[in-house]
Amino acid sequence: MTTPHKDKIFCALDTPDLDRALELADTLKGSVGGLKAGLEFYAAQGPAGVMRVSECGLPLFLDLKLHDIPNTVAAAVRALKPLNPALLTIHTAGGPAMMQAAAAAAKDWDNPPLLLGVTVMTSLDQEDLKKTGVYATPGDQVEKLTGLALECGLGGVVCSPFEIARLRKEFGPGLTLVVAGIRPEGAGKGDQKRVMTPKQASDLGADFLVIGRPITGAPDPAAAAREIAASLAQD
């Protein structure tokens, strides 16, 4: 049995393979709230592949992390209109004019996507940031870029579970938080170093949970997704 909590779950289709993505999309219909296609799938299968996945009817999170000059990013957002993703990512490091241009371009869609900012990649630590000339702590930088994203018309950010509490406290309930780095109790961490369970992340205030391998790597992906949804419903 599925619960409405399933709508919080976006399964990451981290594959270059169209048949595999379509198989997952078909299997997961009714057990998750949506699907996330990222750069790997887009680079391998292009807009046509994304369209095919969309045909399953689930909301699509297109995680392309756009980052270029404002004119180019706005043009890319306009070009993505036929794919009609529900969620689309933009790098906040592209600056205010780029984010504003993206937000303006998205407004022209019939069903505008929720534009999400990517702040500091969780693969970067303090030392890596310093090497790029950023001397703020990762947490301070995430907060600063999130504030800027909201000022520029974005609807939320993608963050790690460990940033939820701080961002909710600072920016309140109006900001959409899409959280990755989620592992159900007892699941392998894979290459994720710091993880929380779906229930912990949801209770802290995550709006959507991006979950890949714990679902896609399970013998029965739909059952794994339903189990995660059920865990969200528990007191």
CB of 119 to ligand C5P, least distance (A): 9
Q: Does position 83 bind ligand C5P by CB under 6 A?
A: no
For 6-20, give the DSSP string. GGGEEEE---S-HHH
Please identify which residue in 49, 113, 181, 198 interacts with ligand C5P, judged by CB under 6 A: 181
Supply 137's token pair.
Answer: 């702590």
Task: Exactly one of 65, 144, 169, 199 is catalytic; name it.
Answer: 65
Annotated catalytic residue 8? no
Contact region for ligand C5P (CB under 6 A) — 26-34, 79-87, 106-114, 206-214?
206-214
CB of 1 to ligand C5P, least distance (A): 24
AA letter at 151: E
Cβ proximity to ligand C5P: between 101 and 226 the closer is 226
Give the binding-site size for ligand C5P (rule: CB under 6 A): 14
Residue with tokens 């159900």: 184
Q: Does position 180 bind ligand C5P by CB under 6 A?
A: yes
d(CA 12, CA 182): 11
Cβ proximity to ligand C5P: between 14 and 207 the closer is 14
Please identify which residue in 213, 224, 225, 228 interacts with ligand C5P, judged by CB under 6 A: 213
Using Cβ positions, the residue closest to ligand C5P within the complex turns out to be 212
d(CA 47, CA 10): 19
d(CA 12, CA 156): 19
CB of 122 to ligand C5P, least distance (A): 4
Cβ proximity to ligand C5P: between 42 and 171 the closer is 42
Phi, psi of 6 (to 5 degrees): -60, -25
- All residues at 6 or more sequence positions from 42 whose CB lies less than 8 Å from its CB, including other chains: 49, 50, 62, 64
20: left (phi over 0), alpha (psi -120 to 50) or beta: alpha
Beta carbons of 57 and 31 less than 8 angstroms apart: no
Q: Which residues are catalytic?
A: 65
> Interface with ligand C5P by CB under 6 A: which residues?
12, 14, 38, 122, 158, 160, 180-181, 190, 192, 210-213
